[in-house]
Structure formats: C-alpha cells, structure tokens
A = this chain, B = another copy of it.
Amino acid sequence: MPKRVDHGERRAAIAEALIKVAARRGLHAVGMREVAAEAGVSLRLVQYYFETKEKLLLAGLHRLAERFGERFSAHVPAAEEDRAPRAVIEALLRAALPTDEDSRTFHHLYTSYAVLAVTDPELARQPFIKSPDAAEDTLGALLRQARDADQLRPGTDPRSEAVGLLAMSAGLGTSVLVGQRTAEAAAEVLRYRLDRIFRPGAPGTSA
C-alpha cells in the first residue's frame, strides 16, 4: 500500500473525523484513538500527520472556520442578483441558526473552541476574530446598501445593526442548542428584529 500519499488530503480527512467525533461526544471527550478509529486509520497515522494533539485540535478549528466562511458567503452571491436585501439578510441570519444537523455541530464546536480559547493562549491567537469580523463587514455592507436604497427606517446605523444582529443570532443559536427554544422560535425573533430595522413596506418585509 505505501505509495506516495497526498498529505493535505489525509490531514483533511482526519480533521473531518475529529469534527465528527467531537460533534458526537463533545470536544472535551475526544481522544486520538477515537479519531483514528473514526477515520479508519491507526493511531500511529494520526500521530504521523499531526504530531501532537494540540495541532490536531488546531487543524479541526481551521477546518471549522473554513466551513463557516463557505456557509456564510455561499448565501451572499445570490444577493448580487435581483433579490431584495431584506430577503438576503434574513436568509443569511437564518443560515447562521442551528437548524439542520450541520449547523448544529458548527455552533456546538465553535462555541467549544471559544470556551477553550479563554484559558488556552495558543487557541486565543487563532482566527476567532477574523471570521466574525468578516461576517460583520459583509452584513454591514448589505445593510448600508439597503439604506442607500432607502429601505431602512430613518436613523438606522448599518454597522451597529450588523454587530447587534450577529451577536443576537449567536445568542439565539446557543439558546436553540441547549433546547431553550426551537429554531423556528429563534427565526421568528430574527424576523421581528428585521421588521423593526427595515422600513414598513420595504420589499421582502413580512406582513
């Protein structure tokens, strides 16, 4: 079997296995042996591609961040077309909610990493800021665009709204995760919030 192997591919597969295991049993409970089993390789292999556990966890975080970027920006291109800004933004924020199993694990693990970052200096230097910042920029731009099209209520500050909306979305996401409310209820709160930001009667506005 031992031919030359694509390291990057291998590492990605193992990192993916890490994410799967962490989603199932919690990031704190993940062990290298279990990751190896999930990836269908030997423990030694995991050691081979990521020398240490810390590096493995780091790789998992990066993979997660990639997903975040993809998932978020995957909904933006559609905005360039003729859809109403209101609809685009709502779709964006809805996608950030833990509805399907995929976004559930994303929320779960991202929060896990964030918690670890509070005490682990190495993790604290990781891209915990970049991705959210980028999201804020994107959403802010969309809102500014809507304001320029005179679709927002007067006195609205796009930047502050963007930050607030994303923070709210994150908070709602956590509450859904712990079972305090359903994803639908959270989406409803989001919808209400947007109704209060957009001018009544703006395209895409509900009711």
Contacts and interface: CB of A to CB of B under 8 A. Distances in A.
28 contacts: A24-B119, A25-B119, A26-B115, A26-B118, A111-B111, A111-B115, A111-B174, A114-B174, A114-B178, A118-B177, A129-B178, A129-B179, A132-B175, A132-B180, A156-B196, A157-B192, A160-B188, A163-B189, A164-B189, A164-B192, A166-B171, A167-B168, A167-B169, A167-B171, A167-B189, A168-B171, A169-B171, A170-B174
A19 to B, nearest CB: 14
Nearest to A165: B168
Contact of A164 (B128, B160, B168): B168
| Copies in the assembly, this chain | 2
A178 B26 contact: no
A186 B170 CA distance: 14
Contact of A28 (B28, B132, B155): B28
A172 interface: yes
B120 A26 contact: yes
Interface in A89-142: 108, 111-112, 114-120, 124, 128-129, 132-133
Contacts of A149: none
A20 to B, nearest CB: 13
Indicate the member of A111, A118, A157, A186 with the most B CB atoms within 10 Å: A118
A54 B157 CA distance: 47
Contacts of A25: 119
Interface of A: 24-29, 108, 111-112, 114-120, 124, 128-129, 132-133, 155-157, 160, 163-164, 166-172, 174-175, 177-180, 186, 188-189, 192-193, 196
B128 A178 contact: yes
Nearest to A119: B26
A10 B21 CA distance: 38
Nearest to A129: B180
B116 A178 contact: no
